[in-house]
Amino acid sequence: MSVALDAVNAPARVRLAARVLGWPFAWLGYRGDPSLPPVTRAITALGPAYIKFGQILSTRPDVVGVELANQLTMLQDRLPPFPLATARQIIADELHQPVEATFDEFSEAVAAASIAQVHRARRIDNGQEVAVKVLRPGIERAFSQDIDAFHFAASMIETISPSSRRLRPRDVVLHFESVVNGELDLRLEAASASKFAENTKSDEGMRVPKPHWHLGARRVLTCDWAEGLPLGDVEALKAAGHDTEALGQRILQLFLSHALRDGFFHADMHQGNLKVAENGDIIIYDFGIMGEIDEYTRRVYAEILMGFIQRDYERVARVHFEAGYVPRDRDMNEFARALRAVGEPIFGADASRISMANLLAYLFEVTERFGMATRTELILLQRTMVVVEGVARSLDPQINMWQVARPVVESYIRDSIGPRAMARDLVRTAGVYARFAPLIPEFLERRMPALLRGEDAAPQPRKRRLDPASLLTGAAIALGAALIGVWIG
């Protein structure tokens, strides 16, 4: 733990507290694989939810350092696999027929991550090569234990440090839990892959493996085999003649296009989920974690990006206040100056000399100073932006994110915020009005007399009164549920 906190330049008091509080419990920890480096060993021993955090760190050598980031890359797709016989049994149970009846070739695991592992196979009916993804046995219980620990930790954090409540740790854990639950059902991943492929079918320079619906179930997913070089192997990409700078730009622009244009984006875009085909197409796969943002949030996000691109910090500040991201009792001009201190050092600077660790630390200071609460609806977007920018930097250390983002953001603003968008919004509003127009006369006749008399026409909800018996019953149910949970566990 101390190594990781030192790497991300955590505040000194946090590092000291971790060492002091962690020492008495060190003997309770899992041993892990002694052949792995200390941090990687600790993360893999802790469990799958912690591995997700390690995957994010692995994409940011500019934050945690090159050595630690390289150690953590194995968390992306090179974890120890579970036995082949177990995978075959899971497939047989889920598809209700033996593997031999479905595939005439079925390999050992070619990739293994925290949730599942992937096998290369060939369909027996048409000879097509496919990738078969199988959930790890017992993964639901392992994640449940991790989530319980997170919930307990979040409650303790809010109790010990009231100032942390603006970060909404409990809500963040609930959000993470909902994301993970979706990832544990591979039928939902197949649906996400299908929707993503449909949205991006006209996008040049990328490819999405399509699911084979009749060969999938809750714990098994079969999709097209994706042949290509791993995006994380930069030297191999260069040796094959690929333009890594162009690949870095395309990764950023694809992500922004999907987030802004579609409001539906891949939210786990680390190198382990990306390949480069022989013709240079970027192959995107593993759709267990997807992000969705509504149209209003997309417009706010685009306005903020455009403000930074144009170095118009007053515009960025105004959008934050209008969207409610900053409490209205704070000074907008002061917030704009703080944003200038964030943005100006980046523009025109050599990317290799920009300390992302220091920048992130300062951003955290800004959010604390201006009382900015965590927005759970933006967590996946912000997290993915950090990961994607890290992936792009690994391909081109000198990449200028703002310059690359500009054409995508300008195109979205032109199509979604300009005059044409206003006309489209008016037509949509008129359509909604037309649907409810027949109900308006009755509504006014029923409500207006009371409103004219100064009365509140809306019925007031009756307050619930909990008697002691109800409280005792609730406590008994909670205690019974806890005992059952202990017994089952």
Chain segment 403-420, per-residue pLDDT in tens: 888 899 888 888 877 666
Instruction: Give the domain-ending residue among 437, 453, 469.
Output: 437
pLDDT classification of 31: cutoffs 50, 70, 90: low
pLDDT classification of 261: cutoffs 50, 70, 90: very high
250 within a domain of the structure (yes/no): yes
Domain range for 407 is 228-437
pLDDT classification of 175: cutoffs 50, 70, 90: confident
Instruction: Give the domain-ending residue among 53, 78, 103.
Output: 78
pLDDT at 488: 33
Instruction: Give the domain-ending residue among 416, 437, 458.
Output: 437
Of the ranges 37-46, 69-78, 312-321, 347-356, the best mean pLDDT one: 312-321
210 within a domain of the structure (yes/no): no
Give yes or no for residue 224 having a pLDDT over 90. Answer: yes
Q: 78 versus 116: which is more confidently predicted?
A: 116
Q: What is the mean pLDDT of the chain?
A: 79
pLDDT at 151: 82
Lowest mean pLDDT among 266-275, 373-382, 452-461: 452-461
Q: Residue range 34-54: average pLDDT?
A: 70
pLDDT classification of 301: cutoffs 50, 70, 90: confident
pLDDT tens-digit series, residues 444-488: 777 777 766 666 555 554 444 444 443 433 333 333 433 333 333
pLDDT classification of 109: cutoffs 50, 70, 90: very high
Phi, psi of 396 (to 5 degrees): -145, 95
Q: Residue range 68-85: average pLDDT?
A: 78
Residue 268 annotated as catalytic: yes
The percent of residues in the chain predicted with pLDDT above 70, rounded, is 74
154 within a domain of the structure (yes/no): no
248 within a domain of the structure (yes/no): yes
- What pTM does this model have? 0.74
Distance, in Å, from the CA atom of 73 to the CA atom of 161, rounded to the nearest integer, reads: 33
- Per the structure, the count of domains in the chain is 2
pLDDT classification of 176: cutoffs 50, 70, 90: confident
Of the ranges 28-32, 77-81, 149-153, 218-222, the best mean pLDDT one: 218-222
pLDDT at 398: 85
Distance, in Å, from the CA atom of 208 to the CA atom of 461, rounded to the nearest integer, reads: 50
What six digits make up the tokens of 68?
């630690």
pLDDT at 62: 54
472 within a domain of the structure (yes/no): no
pLDDT at 483: 37
Q: Residue range 163-176: average pLDDT?
A: 77
Sorted by sequence, the CB contacts under 8 Å of residue 174 that are 6+ apart come out as: 376
The percent of residues in the chain predicted with pLDDT above 90, rounded, is 35
Give yes or no for residue 401 having a pLDDT over 60. Answer: yes
Lowest mean pLDDT among 97-111, 140-154, 194-208, 276-290: 140-154
Widest Cα–Cα separation across the chain: 80
94 within a domain of the structure (yes/no): no
Q: Residue range 60-88: average pLDDT?
A: 75
267 within a domain of the structure (yes/no): yes
182 within a domain of the structure (yes/no): no
pLDDT at 477: 34
Q: How many CA atoms lie within 13 A of 297 on its CB side?
A: 17
pLDDT at 472: 39
pLDDT at 485: 38
pLDDT at 330: 92
Give yes or no for residue 25 having a pLDDT over 90. Answer: no
Catalytic residue among 62, 77, 268, 396: 268
pLDDT at 489: 36
